[in-house]
Amino acid sequence: MRTLPAAPHTGPVSDWVLHVDLDQFIAAVEVSRRPELRGRPVIVGGNGDPAERAVVATASYEARKFGIDSGMPLRLAAKRCPDAVFLPVDAPAYQEVSERVMARLREFPVVVEVLGWDEAFLGAGVDDPEALAEDIRRGVADETGLSCSVGIGDNKLRAKLATGFAKPAGVYRLTQANWWDVMAERPTDALWGIGRKTAKKLAEAGYRTVLDLAGADPAALAAKYGPRLGPWYRLLAGGIGDAEVSATPYVARSRSRETTFQQDLTDPEAIAAEIETLAGRVSRDVADEGRPAARVAVKVRFAPFLTHTHSVTLPAPSSDPAVLAAAARTLLDRFDFGKPVRLLGVRAEFPRA
């Protein structure tokens, strides 16, 4: 009989973590602005032209039925769903709606920790979290006309996973009490933090389900996947995670810019010029942030879809555009430009607090 890791409740019975996730957020904002699109497959990405090199930012549920997911090339999405409506990304519009949603959430007796445009953790001390979740759903709908799903948990991990079971437009509770009933026989990529590639490696090692991973020998996991990741995988499988919800404002760890080219680049001078341009944009972002950068990274995606990244630590944190651009140019020497380039990116990373 395998010994499973303890999965204790992380606070008093009246302390809950709620995860609020706006359903198909970007697509929903676009449909709210164009009601005639309701019920049709809507795909948002790039400039809205499926012939361009860009990826799907989000797809409506109607489009997802055709196997269309975020990150998929627009051209492939168009092949899978020729009748879809393609729209350009309108970041300011999504930001404005997101701010209204987060302001509405702060009107409830909760602590709000914003995760992005479309999701947030809420810390709540209530006896009936389901009633609070329904109030939140109604509040968001009244404020924006958008629907959201709410996951209820006794820590962030369980609340986040619960939202997946709540979608669309529902409420679901996942805690120590039902963790094994719900999660035990699911594949490991059902866990927040384990993707398909990692799940495949775990399965090859004999850990096919959440229960398999939870019952694994910690020493064996540490030896195979490292002293940090190995034990962490086992904690995830046990549903163990952080329960603290903080209202501390989000602080960006980096600023980045990238460009996907409609025609592949092969000329070294053209590649260097694009890196200069991207570094200049990142430098302005760093200046606006008011914090110096500690590292610079360059990303190159070669045709058809092979991506490499190299980075360098600066001698001292800097906001100087010349310093950031010089670092980016130097990094180009680390790449083997034997194939055409379809994407370039530059990232400036801030010192860790």
285-301 pLDDT per residue, tens: 999 989 999 999 999 99
pLDDT of residue 303: 87
319-335 pLDDT per residue, tens: 999 999 999 999 999 99
pLDDT of residue 320: 94
Quick one: which H or E segment has residue 259? strand 254-265
Q: Tokens 């026989």 correspond to what residue?
A: 185
For the structural domain made of 183-237, what CATH number should be given? 1.10.150.20
Beta bridge mates, 313: 295
- Highest CATH level, class, for 254-349: alpha beta
Residue 229 neighbours by CB distance under 10 Å: 13
Alpha helices (H) along the chain: 25-33, 61-64, 74-80, 91-105, 129-144, 156-166, 179-183, 196-204, 210-214, 218-225, 229-237, 268-289, 321-332
CA distances from 132 to 17, 79, 135, 161 (A): 11, 42, 5, 18
Range 196-219 burial, b when 16+ CB lie within 10 A, else e: eebbeebbeeebbbbbbbbbbeee
Phi, psi of 125 (to 5 degrees): -105, 85
Percent of the chain with pLDDT over 70: 95
Domain residue spans of the chain: 13-177, 183-237, 254-349
Question: How many whole angstroms separate alpha carbon 184 and alpha carbon 2?
Answer: 13
Average pLDDT over residues 17-24: 97
Give SS3 for 196: helix
pLDDT of residue 353: 65
pLDDT of residue 9: 42
Phi, psi of 21 (to 5 degrees): -130, 120
Average pLDDT over residues 126-141: 96
**Closest C-alpha to 152, from 326, 19, 334, 9:** 19
pLDDT of residue 144: 94
224-234 pLDDT per residue, tens: 999 999 999 99
* Bigger pLDDT: 299 vs 249: 299
Q: What angle do CA 47, 50, 52 make, to 5 degrees?
A: 65
pLDDT band at 15 (very low <50, low <70, confident <90, very high): confident
Question: How many whole angstroms separate alpha carbon 160 and alpha carbon 170?
Answer: 13
pLDDT greater than 50 at residue 276:
yes
Looking at the annotation, which residues are catalytic?
119
Domain 13-177 has CATH 3.30.70.270: yes
- Cβ 327 vs Cβ 296: under 8 Å: yes
Q: What is the average pLDDT score of the chain? A: 92
Average pLDDT over residues 145-159: 97
